[in-house]
Amino acid sequence: MKHSFTFKQFAICQDRCAMKVGTDGVLLGAWARVEHCRRILDMGTGTGLVALMAAQRSNATIVAIDLDADAVEQAKENVTASPWADRIQVFEADARDLYSSEFRILYSEFLFDAILCNPPFFENSLKSPDAARTMARHTDTLSFDELARSAARLLTSEGELSVVIPYDRAHDMTVSAACHGLFATRQTVVVPVEGGKPKRMLMAFTREGGAHTINTLHIQDTQRRYTSEYIRLVEGFYLKLKSAKDIS
């Protein structure tokens, strides 16, 4: 398939998407708790990667949204070609408007058991000349505060928001979530190479909060081999995990 990334149970075409398949999305899709969910929302779906991973790991009905029309059409293409086309719906929509939009009228009967988001997180940095890539990467289109506010409105009472963000923005996300009644329950610090600096943080928030667990995930060891804990997390998806060039 041209411009595609092939996983074990599905493939991702990405020629029309600003943000390609990458480690962040795969980490989120593999880490978030979705197994027992009935309804899942993927905010900023892009290629549809996270929604498809959630479908593989659950029997849930999944709604995937994105602001970019090309991304929406690409995600629809990828969903249609997958084994779970009957369980995933893709819409062009703004997460900030879901609570009061036509979408809310269509889905007024329920909220979501899980919301997954690989949010834009670059602030005050050089913008890309590619408008779609800028929209996907910068918080101008969805700040942490807006993300938390939207999630608080759309989650069930026991629902969970799961995100992947830069390590140095974890405090900002925690504060934004708390302002809207969501509290961290799990955090995984992601370190690309053992002995190196943390790069990403996987975070889960619920209304109840409760026991707050923090652990560390090293993607590669000092010999640039994938670690056993990383392989356990993602082996249900990747066709092979031999070297760093297998993933971006």
Check if the beta carbon of residue 20 is closer than 8 Å to that of residue 33. Answer: no
Task: For residues 141 and 46, give the distance between their C-alpha atoms in angstroms, rounded to a whole number.
Answer: 14
DSSP state of 218: E
Q: Taking the CA atoms of 66, 109, 147 and 168 in sequence, report the sign of the dihedral they define.
A: negative
Check if the beta carbon of residue 116 is closer than 8 Å to that of residue 29. Answer: yes
Q: pLDDT tens for residues 172-187?
A: 999 999 999 999 999 9
Q: Which two tokens stand for residue 212?
A: 């707050």
Confidence class for position 94, pLDDT limits 50, 70, 90: confident
Q: Please report, to the nearest 10 degrees, the dihedral formed by the alpha carbons of residues 23, 158, 37, 31 taken in order.
A: 20
Three-class SS of residue 177?
helix
User: Looking up tokens 């498809």, which residue turns up?
Assistant: 52
Q: pLDDT tens for residues 11-33?
A: 999 988 887 899 999 999 999 99
Domains and CATH numbers, the chain: 4-13+20-184+233-246 (3.40.50.150)
Task: For residues 227 and 175, give the distance between their C-alpha atoms in angstroms, rounded to a whole number.
Answer: 32
Task: For residues 45 and 31, give the distance between their C-alpha atoms in angstroms, rounded to a whole number.
Answer: 16
Could you tell me which of 205, 36, 180 has the C-alpha nearest to residue 117? 205
Is pLDDT above 90 for 74?
yes
User: In this predicted structure, what is the pLDDT of residue 149?
Assistant: 93
Q: Give the CA distances from residue 8 to residues 85, 96, 115, 192, 234, in Å, rounded to whole numbers and listed in that order.
A: 16, 34, 24, 23, 11
User: In this predicted structure, what is the pLDDT of residue 118?
Assistant: 93
Q: Taking the CA atoms of 9, 83, 154 and 18 in sequence, report the sign of the dihedral they define.
A: positive
Confidence class for position 106, pLDDT limits 50, 70, 90: low
Bigger pLDDT: 150 vs 245: 150
Confidence class for position 121, pLDDT limits 50, 70, 90: low
Decide: residue 109, CB within 10 A, 0-12 exposed, 13-18 middle, 19+ buried: exposed
Average pLDDT of the segment spanning 84-107: 77
